[in-house]
């Protein structure tokens, strides 16, 4: 009777024949096993609990015991046990595999390789868009790795998920800014009358200020423009005094007292224009080219323009607020807000899973000690 498995000192011992069969992935008669890790009997033997293995070992020892004076069948078993027994003494349990601690250099190399694999992981390749900064994303990912110190592919995957979520939240900020700029472009359109709406409580008529100028203006530039406006109004006031005095040559003297751009505007107004009847009929001449016409032009157009311009310069902050308020598009931002809520929930789930895994790993390490 040939035995391939016996128990020695309460430990299951595998004979050399069975060990060779396990190494080659064959059964007792040389047939291939499904797992390639030995015969079906050896696989079943490994699945038994320690108590069952000790009981079976004791039964086999009793079966191998024979009367004194006859050759013992246990001798070959003991010899096999001595061959398979570890060289170190004092070990009561045999393990299937033993790991040798890696040297510091090997451990450092493993850490570098592991982090490189994380930086170039499966998700990272598809997270970045072609126009996005790869170095900025790597900085974010490295910071998360340094903070959470993941161990194993599962924790590394969770850290990579955290980086992807934060990167997408960054895109949301860019999308929100783009939505505001799109709305600001509409607010800057002359057809929107943004300046007039902002100063409606001041009774401003036709706007002269551009929204973009009000947005870009600083306190110094506004102060300088107000000083120039005061100077221009003083020149217009002198021309009005000359025209109202009614003296000889008042028309030419008043024209000389006006600003150059005001004189150019007056000359354009005096140019004849065709009537509304296809070029036929009398041309439209709102003002006459004399002192009376110039006085009427200054009082009806130039003076009101100065008043409107002063109100606009003094209330540029209101114009900016109106423009920024009109730039807000709730319909456009609603979809972004829903997506951000989804990312926040996913971030919370990933972070919770990572913390739980690390807590379980720490508890297992503490129990093993």
Give the model's pLDDT for residue 275: 55
Question: How confident is the model over 91-120, as pLDDT tens digits?
Answer: 333 332 333 444 444 444 444 444 454 544
Q: Is the pLDDT of residue 3 over 90?
A: no
Q: Is the pLDDT of residue 87 over 80?
A: no
Q: Is the pLDDT of residue 44 over 70?
A: no
Give the model's pLDDT for residue 118: 54
**What is the mean predicted confidence (pLDDT) over 341-364?**
94
Q: Is the model more confident about 274 or about 198?
A: 198
Q: Is the pLDDT of residue 220 over 90?
A: yes
Could you tell me the sign of the dihedral formed by the alpha carbons of 240, 241, 245, 251, in that order? Answer: negative
- Give the Cα separation of 88 and 80 in Å (integer): 17
Detail the DSSP E strand segments found in the chain. 5-8, 11-14
Q: Is the pLDDT of residue 75 over 80?
A: no
- Give the Cα separation of 17 and 3 in Å (integer): 10
Report whether 179 contacts 278 (CB < 8 A). no
- Which helix or strand (DSSP H or E) is residue 76 part of? helix 74-84
**What is the mean predicted confidence (pLDDT) over 323-329?**
90
**What is the mean predicted confidence (pLDDT) over 5-31?**
46
Q: What share of the chain has pLDDT > 90, as a percent?
A: 41
pLDDT band at 229 (very low <50, low <70, confident <90, very high): very high
**What is the mean predicted confidence (pLDDT) over 9-33?**
47
Question: How confident is the model over 52-68, as pLDDT tens digits?
Answer: 444 444 444 444 444 44
Q: What phi, psi does 78 have (nearest 5°)?
A: -65, -35
**What is the mean predicted confidence (pLDDT) over 298-314?**
92
Q: Left if phi > 0, otherwise alpha if psi is -120 to 50, otherwise beta: which for 288?
A: beta
Q: Is the model more confident about 215 or about 80?
A: 215
Number of helices (H), then strands (E), belonging to the chain: the values are: 17, 2
pLDDT band at 368 (very low <50, low <70, confident <90, very high): confident
Report whether 179 contacts 142 (CB < 8 A). no
Q: Is the pLDDT of residue 48 over 80?
A: no
Q: Is the pLDDT of residue 17 over 60?
A: no
- The residue extents of the domains of the chain are 5-82, 106-185+332-368, 200-277+285-314
Asked which of 50-54, 224-228, 281-285 is least confident by mean pLDDT, the reply is 50-54
Give the model's pLDDT for residue 287: 86
**What is the mean predicted confidence (pLDDT) over 247-267?**
90
Give the model's pLDDT for residue 34: 46
Q: What share of the chain has pLDDT > 70, as a percent?
A: 63
Question: How confident is the model over 172-188, as pLDDT tens digits?
Answer: 999 999 998 999 888 88
- Give the Cα separation of 296 and 275 in Å (integer): 22
- Which residues does 238 contact at the CB level (< 8 Å), separation at least 6? 257
Mean pLDDT of the chain: 74
pLDDT band at 354 (very low <50, low <70, confident <90, very high): very high
Give the model's pLDDT for residue 208: 84
- At residue 280, the 3 state secondary structure works out as strand
Q: Is the pLDDT of residue 18 over 90?
A: no
DSSP letters spanning 96-131: S--PPPPPHHHHHHHHHHHHHHHHT-HHHHHHS-TT
**What is the mean predicted confidence (pLDDT) over 347-353?**
96
Q: Is the pLDDT of residue 331 over 90?
A: no
Give the model's pLDDT for residue 207: 79
Q: Is the model more confident about 191 or about 199?
A: 199
Total Cβ atoms within 10 A of residue 255: 17
Give the model's pLDDT for residue 204: 80
Say how far residue 61 (Cα) sits from the centre of its chain. Answer: 68
Report whether 11 contacts 57 (CB < 8 A). yes
Question: How confident is the model over 125-148, as pLDDT tens digits?
Answer: 788 889 999 999 999 999 999 999
Q: Is the pLDDT of residue 200 over 70?
A: yes
């Amino acid at each position: 009777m040939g035995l391939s498995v016996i128990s020695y000192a309460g430990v299951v011992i595998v004979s050399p024949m069975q060990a060779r069969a396990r190494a080659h992935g064959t059964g007792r008669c040389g047939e291939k096993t499904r797992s390639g890790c030995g015969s079906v009997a050896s696989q079943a033997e490994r699945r038994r609990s320690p108590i069952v293995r000790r009981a079976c070992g004791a039964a086999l020892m009793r079966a191998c015991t024979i009367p004194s004076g006859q050759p013992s069948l246990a001798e070959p078993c003991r010899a096999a046990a001595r061959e398979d027994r570890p060289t170190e003494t004092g070990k009561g349990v045999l393990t299937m595999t033993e790991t040798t601690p890696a040297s510091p250099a090997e451990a450092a190399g493993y850490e570098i390789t592991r982090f490189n694999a994380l930086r170039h992981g499966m998700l990272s390749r598809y997270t970045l868009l072609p126009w996005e900064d790869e170095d900025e994303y790597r900085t974010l990912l490295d910071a998360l790795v340094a903070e959470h110190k993941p161990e194993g592919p599962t924790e590394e995957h969770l850290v990579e998920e955290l980086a992807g979520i934060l990167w997408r939240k960054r895109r949301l900020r860019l999308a929100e800014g783009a939505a505001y700029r799109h709305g600001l472009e509409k607010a800057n359109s002359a057809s929107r009358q943004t300046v007039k709406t902002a100063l409606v409580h001041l009774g401003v008529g036709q706007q002269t200020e551009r929204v973009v100028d009000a947005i870009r203006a600083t306190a110094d530039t506004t102060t300088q423009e107000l000083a120039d406006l005061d100077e221009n109004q003083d020149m217009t006031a002198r021309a009005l005094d000359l025209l109202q005095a009614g003296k000889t040559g008042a028309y030419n003297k008043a024209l000389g007292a006006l600003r150059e751009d005001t004189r150019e505007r007056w000359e354009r107004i005096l140019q004849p224009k065709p009537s509304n009847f296809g070029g036929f009929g009398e041309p439209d001449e709102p003002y006459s080219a004399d002192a009376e016409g110039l006085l009427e032009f200054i009082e009806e157009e130039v003076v009101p323009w100065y008043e409107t311009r002063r109100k606009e310069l003094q209330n540029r902050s209101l114009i900016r607020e109106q423009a920024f308020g009109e730039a807000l598009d709730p319909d456009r931002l609603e979809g972004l807000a829903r997506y951000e809520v989804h990312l926040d929930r996913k971030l919370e789930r990933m972070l919770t899973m990572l913390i739980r895994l690390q807590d379980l790993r720490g508890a297992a390490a503490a129990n093993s000690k």
